[in-house]
Structure 1
């Protein structure tokens, strides 16, 4: 028989008290193992002293199964290296050694003009590199010192340069934005906020819930953790208690679902169908459903898709009477969650006030919500989804009643959908105090806030003017690798096709100057138009006379603004034209 290892934490106001309690714990473990005919491996046991005083860790030892175990500088537990001060410097250095071979493998997958597409490169980097760095990161990353975060930041920047093809001289903020890599500080804040929300979603008797609610007086201002950092992130993101309790048990897979049908389409529609075409198809689909039924229209509303959620329900009875239900969905709320709250409100009301008709038809314009419910009762991972299925199962239990959930298109002047949309907007104005927020919404709100803060900290320069507070959208999957590299380099401001950039790094020496940073140097002049202005990305994209016709064709303006040339398609066309004008074929 074999058993896995265990960990014991013993605390005391002095090192002697803590050591004595650790010895008692070791003796108790050894005695229990002996009684159950198991053997404790004392030679594999580790001991770590957590103390701000270095002298406490000196000459500290205990006896385990006849073996002397001395205190070490670090301890490896569940994939995390702990140190005496819990600054996690050794752990960050260990992660650096672990990720460097992975980054080298990522380099082997792409080059300047060949290799995997950008979307696949991002997937590999996020799963293979960032996944290794963020193992159990919610527990240790909020407590790591800023200098140790810099060790991991260098590795993620290297991966970002591999994804984008940008040279090492490119500003860090531009490389991260082009590669879609979030700074480690932003990830730290988002993970801390999510762990705090998860702890609050646990039952009150859970030890982690008690830790989240505790408010001890900190002894050292320089020491932080997921609880304190998570609270600070919550304050900046506007998140407030309560947090929705996590789903304790899912509905059993044998829950009756025969009389519940969910449909996510209204029939075949051509690509680019107009609003009238979608409305006609929806009316034909709804007309095929039983008309002598109770109809419920649901909709969710959230300001900007992120705040002040409201759930609206319109119930139409066969006798012509209608009911309007409104419910607040939360101060921090996504459109998806508002739609789920609306569906729950509808089925709960129908369960509390059972209609006489056998058929109940619920119409919603949220494909995401219906797709989640379509997985069945046992596939639900949120309390909302489980509650909706529980109510629907109770509606159809013990009778011939049938429930049909039907997707309908939005913004096509479908009467029922337009009426419930107005009800949902009214519900968004209801008081939001006391409405619980779920863990996923907290995480997304913290991530948005962290991204906004990272963007606001961009230094003044070409990239900040070009993007104007926006993150670039990923390039289309069909973009060739060579074109994608040119797009990233031009937007980031360090283009390998620029004479000025090549002269600055010593690859394009002039007659009178071998290398300099001056934009007025003759060796830095634009080779496309032949003028004295340096061929910086701003010159290529905004002002180069040789590319006037192309800018006029794409943008309708020969002197566009930074906002107009931000898109990847325009940048790719101008970069390709500049490359062609510099080639031997053009000359």
Structure 2
């Protein structure tokens, strides 16, 4: 373990190539840590996760040191504050996640020696918990995990190559559609409707919309199907996708159900469904999985779509953007929510679904512990030197007199040079008479301190300009 952790300390050395006023910014530093350093720290964690607490603390210290370098925070900055800024989950929490995932895998691997032990009572231990003790303790924390009916991990089966030729065409783009952050909802809707009318005209194509969702993304899933027909009322259907269901599973089940409904409708005499069918879905992850012949998560869906393709002139699965107020998609979304309210069966949960459920529960637990975390924070768009200034102002752990005197006993007094009050972040930004003129030039109107250090990108840049112009080191 000593050699293992010493390697971790060596790996964080590249992060030190950035200072507080120069070097790689937050995004580059975090990518380097999560992509290169953290995987080394976590290697075999499910096995050594039952080690003594002192060993686990050594791994946590490496991440804490990396967090300080990434943010430019001072050594006195609380760990939770750095986790909120970086969005990094504590290694102890990630160990719990990996333990639960490994336990879920053992439950489903019927030929593995550990499979039988997952259903046997655990023996008492005097000092530390065994892997099974730890896994069961974590599972009791979330009763949902204990109620799941497990689906065995089966031998992979792929769709034969000759069958792929009969597979529907999958389109995962709409021309002109950009990311939500840079394009309005109205623009995305207009581009999508124009593309649909030109590529899939109503006179030649049958339009079907599907959607799926799950309560808190982990349970009571529902799917919605809307099939528009010429000269006939649309077909609407809601289905329940299981007591323990992810959004991904609900979307896939809705697509599979739509394929079955369409095939059955084509077999009815006198039906008004065109032989060219397009199914619209906003489930990009499901469509990308369908594009990969080796993906086992959607093998049943792939079979259903292949069967449908054999009964039609042409079938296309077309992605469309979500939440753009496209009428068919919104109706399918409503039907999916109704499906979630239907009686749910406790269907078998695959390892892939269990993995998603465990990670989602852990993520929500982390968000409850870090309510101030904001992934769209303007702070992430600043330069390295500006990011360091904002981090120190937000946490209050900086080089201002109040903090240096009260925390490190450095200096003779915590009082500001103006002699009126302690030199705190709020005093410097809001009240200090020495910087009154500069403050008026920087902010034309009275601005709350929260806006100055947690506000928009423009507000944050005004704050960093003020700090640099004031000459006060933070």
SS at match of 1:525: coil
Structure 2 residue corresponding to 1:231, chosen from 120, 136, 146: 136
**Are residues 362 and 579 of structure 1, via their aligned partners in 2, closer, same or farther at CA, if it must alter by over 3 Å?**
same
CA separation of 1:500/1:441 partners in 2, compared to 1, >3 Å: closer, same or farther?
farther
Q: CA deviation at 1:151?
A: 1.5
Aligned mates of 2:114, 2:154 — CA distance in 1: 16
Query: For the residues of structure 2 that align with 1:566 and 1:119, how far apart are their CA atoms?
Result: 18
CA distance in 2, matches of 1:551, 1:443: 50
Could you tell me which of 85, 89, 98 is aligned with 2:7?
98
Quickly say closer, same or farther: Cα 1:377–1:550, change in 2 above 3 A. farther
Please name the residue that 1:9 is paired with. Answer: none
In the TM superposition, what is the alpha-carbon distance from 1:434 to its structure 2 partner?
0.4
1:44 aligned residue: none
What CA deviation, in whole Å up to 9, does each residue of 1:218-242 have, x standing for no partner? 2226432443433333343433312
* Higher RCO, 1 vs 2 (CA within 8 Å, ≥6 residues apart): 2
Q: Report if the CA contact (8 A) 2:84-2:372 is conserved.
A: no
Q: Is the 8 A contact 1:298 1:362 kept in 2?
A: yes
Q: Which residue, out of 395, 402, 405, partners 1:500?
A: 402
> Could you state the TM-score of these two structures normalised by the residue count of structure 2?
0.83
Cα 1:485–1:568 change in 2 (3 A) is: farther
Give the Cα separation in 2 of the matches to 1:178 and 1:302.
29
Partner in structure 1 of residue 226 of structure 2? 314
Q: 1:484 aligns with which of 367, 382, 387?
A: 387
- In structure 2, what is the equivalent of residue 211 of structure 1? 117
Q: What TM-score, normalized to structure 1?
A: 0.68
8 Å contact 1:311–1:341 — kept in the other structure? Answer: yes
Q: Which structure 2 residues correspond to residues 294-305 of structure 1 after superposition, within 5 A?
A: 294-305=206-217
RMSD over aligned CA atoms reads 3.4
Tell whether 2:85 aligns with 1:172: no
Given that residues 565 and 571 in structure 1 are in contact (C-alpha distance below 8 angstroms), is that contact kept between their aligned partners in structure 2?
A: yes
Q: Which secondary structure state, in structure 1, belongs to the residue aligned with residue 308 of structure 2?
A: helix
Which string of whole-angstrom CA distances, capped at 9 and with x for unpartnered residues, describes residues 456-498 of structure 1?
A: 66xxxxxxxxx7x2324366665211111122222232123x2
**Counterpart position of 1:581:** 470
Structure 2 counterparts to residues 53-202 of structure 1, below 5 A: 91=1, 93-107=2-16, 109-141=17-49, 143-202=50-109
The residue aligned with 2:249 is: 337
Structure 1 counterpart SS, 2:12? helix
Deviations 1:416-451 (A, max 9, x none): 222212111101112334034444554454445445
Deviation at 1:264, TM superposition (A): 2.6
Superposition deviation, residue 191 in structure 1? 0.8
Between Structure 1 and Structure 2, the one with more helix by share is: 2
2:422 maps to which of 531, 534, 538? 534
How far residue 131 of structure 1 moved from its aligned partner, in angstroms, is 1.0
What's the CA shift string for 1:190-238, capped at 9, x where partnerless? Answer: 1111112222333x344343333x2323222643244343333334343
For residue 387 of structure 1, the aligned residue among 300, 303, 307 is 300
SS in 1 for 2:454: coil
1:101 is displaced (CA, Å) by 1.3
Map of 1:76 onto structure 2: none
Asked if 2 retains the 8 angstrom alpha-carbon contact of 1:266 and 1:408, the reply is yes
CA distance in 2, matches of 1:574, 1:303: 41
Alpha-carbon distance between aligned partners in 1 of 2:247 and 2:451, rounded to the nearest angstrom: 28
Q: Note if contact 2:209-2:225 (Cα within 8 Å) is conserved in structure 1.
A: yes
Aligned to 1:289: 200
What's the CA shift string for 1:219-268, capped at 9, x where partnerless?
A: 22643244343333334343331244446324246132455212233332
Native 8 Å contact 2:252 2:286 kept in 1: yes
Is 1:423 aligned to residue 318 of structure 2?
A: no
| Conservation of the 8 A alpha-carbon contact between 2:241 and 2:344 | yes
1:377 to 2:280 alignment: no
Secondary structure of the residue that 1:377 maps to in structure 2?
coil
1:350-379 C-alpha deviation (Å, 9 max, x unpaired): 456655743221111233332332x3323x
Counterparts in 2 of 1:444 and 1:406: CA distance versus 1, 3 Å: closer
State the alpha-carbon separation in 1 of the partners of residues 354 and 451 from structure 2: 32
Give the superposition deviation at 1:535.
2.8
Indicate if the aligned counterparts of 2:396 and 2:403 stay in contact, CA closer than 8 A: no
Larger C-alpha radius of gyration, 1 or 2?
A: 1
Do 1:190 and 1:443's aligned partners in 2 also have CA atoms closer than 8 Å? no
> For the Cα contact (< 8 Å) 2:442–2:462, is it kept in 1?
no
Unpaired segments of 5 or more residues in structure 2?
Answer: 269-273
Gaps of 5+ in 1: 1-90, 458-466, 514-520
Q: How many residues align?
A: 456
Bigger mean CA offset, 351-360 vs 341-350: 351-360
Q: 1:583 to 1:471 in 2, by over 3 A?
A: closer
How far residue 539 of structure 1 moved from its aligned partner, in angstroms, is 4.1
